[in-house]
Amino acid sequence: MVIIVGAGLAGLACATRLEEAGADWLLVESSPGPGGRVVTEVTPEGYRLDRGFQVLLDSYPTARRLLDWEALKPRYFESGALMVDGNGDSVRWERFLNPLRHSEWLLGAPLAASFLLREKITLAAYAAIQLPRSDASLTARECGRSTMEELRSLGLGGPVLEKFLRPFFSGVFLDCELGSDASIFRLDLKKFALGRALLPAGGMGEITRQLADKLPSVRQRYGKTVTGLKPAAEGRGDGERVTGVVLSNGEELLCGSLVLATDEGASRHLLGLPMEGGRPWMEVSTLYFTGDHPLYEGALLVLPSGLKGDGSRRLVAHFTDLTNTAPDYAPAGKRLLSATILTPPEEELPADDLLHILAQAEITELLPRFADWTFLKEVRIRRALPSQAPSSRGEQLERHPASNLWLAGDQCAHASIDSALASGLRAAEEVLATQG
Return the closest-CA partner of residue 13 out of 432, 424, 395, 299: 424
Contact 245, 226 (CB under 8 A): yes
Q: What is the largest CA-CA distance in the chain?
A: 78
Q: In the beta sheet, which residues pair with residue 257?
A: 2
- CA-CA distance, 112 to 92, in Å (whole number)? 11
Question: What separation in angstroms does the CA of 403 have from each of 2, 12, 222, 232, 245?
Answer: 13, 22, 27, 11, 16
**Residue 232 pLDDT:** 77
Q: Which residues contact 171 (CB under 8 A, 6 or more apart)?
A: 53, 301, 317, 318, 340, 342
Q: 308 or 361: which carries more pLDDT confidence?
A: 361
pLDDT for the residue numbered 95: 85
Q: Nearest-CA neighbor of 38 among 187, 197, 209, 201?
A: 209
pLDDT of residue 238: 45
Return the pLDDT at 104: 60
Per-residue confidence (pLDDT) for residue 109, from 0 to 100: 44
Q: Is the pLDDT of residue 347 over 70?
A: no
Q: What percent of the chain has pLDDT over 90?
A: 71
Q: 234 pLDDT exceeds 70?
A: no
pTM: 0.92
- 418 — pLDDT class (breaks 50, 70, 90): very high
The domain segmentation of the chain, as residue ranges, is: 2-39+204-279+393-434, 56-63+70-201+281-386
CATH class assigned to 56-63+70-201+281-386: alpha beta
pLDDT per residue over 148-188, tens digit each?
999 999 999 888 898 889 999 999 999 989 999 999 999 99
Q: Which has the closest alpha carbon to 260: 34, 4, 433?
A: 4
- Reported as a pLDDT band with limits 50, 70 and 90, residue 37 is very high
Among 7, 2, 1, which residue's Cα sits nearest to residue 266?
7
- Of residues 248 and 104, more confidence is placed in 248
Work out the pLDDT band at 102, boundaries 50, 70, 90. Answer: low
Most confident of 48-52, 231-235, 393-397: 48-52
* CA 183, chain centre distance (Å): 17
Confidence class for position 435, pLDDT limits 50, 70, 90: confident
Backbone φ and ψ for 200, nearest 5 degrees, come out as: -65, 145
Give the pLDDT confidence of 75-85 residue by residue, as tens digits.
999 988 999 98
pLDDT at residue 123, rounded to an integer: 86
The neighbour count for residue 263, using CB atoms within 10 Å, is 18
Q: What is the mean pLDDT of residues 360-388?
A: 93
Residue 113 confidence (pLDDT): 63
Q: Residue 262 CB: number of other CB atoms within 10 A?
A: 26
Give the range among 153-167, 267-281, 307-321, 411-425 with minimum mean pLDDT.
307-321
Q: What is the mean pLDDT of residues 221-234?
A: 88
Average of pLDDT values for 399-425?
94
Q: Which CATH superfamily is domain 2-39+204-279+393-434 in?
A: FAD/NAD(P)-binding domain (3.50.50.60)
